[in-house]
Chains A and B, each alone.
Chain A
Amino acid sequence: MSDLSYVRTELLPEQDPPLSEVGVIGWLRANLFSGWFNSILTFVSLVLIYLLLAAILPWLWSPTWNAGSLAECREIIAELGKEHGGACYGVIRERWPQLLFGFYPDAERWRPIVTLIGLFVALAPVLFTDLFPRKMLWFSGAFLFAAPWLMWGGSIWTPVLVAAGLVIGAGAYRLLVPRVGNLAAVIAAVVAPLLWWFLFVGPVSSVLAPVIPLGLEVVESRLFGGFMLSVWIGVVSIAISLVLGVLLALGRQSDLLIVKYLSVGFIEFIRGVPLITLLFVASTLLNIFLPPGTNFDIILRVMIMATLFASAYIAEVIRGGLAALPRGQYEAADALGLDYWKAQRLIILPQALKISIPGIVSTFIGLFKDTTLVSIIGLLDPIGLTGSIRADANWNGIVWELYGFIALLFFLSCFAMSRYSMWLERKLRTDHK
Chain B
Amino acid sequence: MASVTDSQGGSFRLSMLLYDSRYRSATIQIVALIGFLLLIGWLVNNTVQNLAELGKTVGFGFLGDRAGYDINQRLLEYSSADSHLRAALLGLLNTLLIAVMGCIAATIVGVVVGILRLSNNWLVARIMTVYVEMFRNVPVLLWIVLSMAILIETLPAPSAFRGDTPSASMLFGDNVALTNRGIYVPEPLFGKVDEEGVHTSWRHGIGDLHFFGDASLRFDLSLDLVAILATLIAGLMVSGLIKRRADRVQAATGLRPVTWYWRTGVIVVPVIVLLWVLGLHFGKPELRGFNFQGGTHLRNSFIALWLALSLYTAAFVAEIVRGGILAISSGQTEAAAALGLRPRRIMSLVVLPQALRVIIPPLISQYLNLTKNSSLAIAVGYMDLTGTLMGITLNQTGRELETVLLTMLIYLLISLAISGAMNVYNNSVKLKER
Question: B-contacting residues of A (Cβ < 8 Å)?
Answer: 31-32, 34, 38, 41-42, 45-46, 48-49, 183, 255-259, 262, 268-269, 271-277, 280-281, 284-285, 287-292, 334, 340, 365, 369-370, 372-373, 375-376, 383, 399-400, 403, 406-407, 410-411, 414-415, 418
Contact A32 B122 (CB under 8 A): yes
Given contacts A31-B121, A262-B36, A273-B412, 6 further A-B contacts (CB under 8 A): A277-B386, A289-B43, A334-B1, A414-B136, A414-B137, A414-B138
Report yes or no: B404 in contact with A281, Cβ–Cβ below 8 A.
yes
Task: Report yes or no: A285 in contact with B25, Cβ–Cβ below 8 A.
Answer: no
Please give, as numbers and ranges, the residues of chain A lying within 8 Å of B140 by CB-CB distance. Answer: 369
Residue of B nearest to A373 (CB): B141
* A149 vs B376: C-alpha distance when bound (angstroms): 34
Q: Select the stretch in B81-89, B145-153, B171-179 that faces chain A.
A: B145-153
- A41, B121: Cβ atoms closer than 8 Å: yes
Contacts of B72 in A (CB 8 A): none
With most chain A CB atoms within 10 A of its CB, the pick from B32, B142, B153, B419 is B142
Quick check: B28 and A372 within 8 Å, CB to CB? Answer: no
Q: How far is the CA of A292 from the CA of B43 in the complex (A)?
A: 11
Which residues of chain B have C-beta atoms less than 8 A from A38's C-beta?
Answer: 119-121
Q: Which of A48, A274, A288, A415 contacts B46 (CB 8 A)?
A: A288
**Alpha-carbon distance between A90 and B46 when the two chains are bound, in angstroms:** 51
**Contact at A41–B46, with CB atoms within 8 Å?**
no
- B379 contacts which chain A residues (CB < 8 A)? 375-376
Is the beta-carbon distance between B404 and A280 smaller than 8 angstroms? Answer: yes
- By the criterion CB–CB under 8 Å, are B121 and A406 in contact? no
Nearest CB to that of A48 among chain B residues? B127
| B185 contacts chain A at the CB level, 8 A cutoff | no
A410's contact among B1, B28, B142, by CB below 8 Å, is which? B142
* Contact indicator A373/B121 (Cβ below 8 Å): no
B17, chain A: closest CB distance, angstroms: 11
- Residues of A within 8 Å of B123, CB to CB, are 31-32, 41-42, 45-46
Q: Is the CB of B127 within 8 A of A45?
A: yes
Chain B interface residues toward A at CB < 8 A: 1-2, 18, 25, 28-30, 32-33, 36, 43, 46-47, 49-51, 53, 119-124, 127, 133-134, 136-142, 145-146, 149, 153, 372-373, 375-376, 378-379, 386, 390, 394, 400-401, 404, 407-408, 411-412, 415-416, 419
Indicate if the CB atoms of A292 and B53 lie closer than 8 Å. Answer: yes
Chain A residues with CB below 8 A from B49, complex form: 291-292
Does A292 lie within 8 Å of B412, measured CB to CB?
A: no
Which one of B136, B139, B416 lies within 8 Å of A370 (CB-CB)?
Answer: B139
Give the Cβ gap from A74 to chain B, nearest Cβ, in Å. Answer: 15
**Given the contacts A257-B29, A288-B47, A274 and B375 also touching, CB distance less than 8 Å:** yes
Known contacts A262-B32, A376-B379, A415-B137; decide if A31 and B122 are in contact (CB<8 Å): yes
Give the distance in Å from the alpha carbon of A88 to the alpha carbon of B48 in the complex: 54
- Asked if B149 and A400 sit within 8 Å, CB to CB, the answer is yes
| Interface residue from A273, A292, A365 paired with B372 (Cβ < 8 Å) | A273
User: Contacts A41-B121, A271-B415 known; A288 to B51 CB distance under 8 Å?
Assistant: yes
Residues of B within 8 A of A410 (CB): 137-139, 142
B2–A334 contact, CB under 8 A? yes
Residue of A nearest to B134 (CB): A411
**Beyond A34-B120, A274-B375, is A256–B142 a contact (Cβ under 8 Å)?**
no
Q: How far is the CB of B263 from chain A (nearest CB, A)?
A: 28
Residue of B nearest to A230 (CB): B139
The answer for the CA separation of A255 and B26 in the assembled complex, in Å, is: 11
Closest to A262 in B: B36
- Chain A residues near B376 (CB, 8 Å)? 276, 373, 376
Q: Known: A276-B375, A277-B375, A277-B411. Contact between A403 and B32, CB under 8 A?
A: no
Chain A: CB-nearest residue to B25 = A256
Q: Are B400 and A285 in contact (CB under 8 A)?
A: yes
Residue of A nearest to B377 (CB): A276
Q: Give which listed residue, B124, B133, B142, B372, contacts A407 with CB less than 8 A.
A: B142
Assembly CA distance A262 to B36 (angstroms): 8
Residue of A nearest to B15 (CB): A183
Give bound CA distance, A94 to B369, whole Å.
37
CA distance A288 to B134 in the complex (A): 41
Provide the residues of chain A in CB contact with B120, threshold 8 Å.
31, 34, 38
Closest to B414 in A: A272
Query: Given A45-B124, A414-B136, A418-B137, A292 and B46 touching (CB < 8 A)?
Result: yes
Choose from B43, B50, B408, B419 the contact partner of A287 (Cβ within 8 Å).
B50
CB distance from A386 to the nearest CB of B (A): 8
- Please report the C-alpha to C-alpha distance between residue A263 and residue B33 in the assembled complex, in whole angstroms: 12
Instruction: Give Cα distance in the complex from A217 to B376, angstroms.
Output: 37
Residue of A46, A256, A268, A340 contacting most chain B CB atoms (<10 Å)? A256
Contact present for A41 and B124 (CB under 8 Å): yes
* A274 B149 Cβ-Cβ under 8 A: no
Q: Is the CB of B136 within 8 A of A272?
A: no
Residues of B within 8 A of A287 (CB): 50
Residue contact B122 to A285, C-beta cutoff 8 Å: no
Measured CB to CB, the nearest residue on chain A to B140 is: A369
